[in-house]
Amino acid sequence: MTIQERLDQLPVKITRALQPSFIFIIKESIIQHFPIREWSAPKILLELNQRLGPNFESKTWKNQLVCWNQSQNLLLIIPKYTSLQQLKSEIDSH
């Protein structure tokens, strides 16, 4: 299944719950989320690297950042950002 197919198959209650103050972790049979209200951009990027490894891929989906590692079958949605570039730009601006 492609990343787009996985995103398209998310339950409506999950897509409605997507909020900038959370990261959503989507595994094969589990969907989790945890708060990132107080997190800085570098901390979010560190979390992405720790969970997905340094060679993860990303895209914008419904105006939200989606990152994944195909080999881990793991997908993260970060509604606070629209793209990886926006996240990195926030780091560079500080």
Residue 55 lies in a domain: yes
Residue 4 lies in a domain: no
Q: What whole-number distance in Å separates Cα of residue 21 and Cα of residue 49?
A: 19
Residue 72 lies in a domain: yes
Domain span including residue 62: 22-92
Q: What whole-number distance in Å separates Cα of residue 59 and Cα of residue 26?
A: 15
Q: What is the pLDDT along the chain (94 residues), one digit of tens a residue?
A: 889 999 999 999 999 999 999 999 999 889 999 999 999 999 999 999 999 998 899 999 999 999 999 888 899 999 999 999 999 999 887 6
Residue 76 lies in a domain: yes
Residue 10 lies in a domain: no
Residue 50 lies in a domain: yes
pLDDT value of position 70? 84
Q: Which residue has the tokens 């995103």?
A: 7
3-state secondary structure of 88: helix
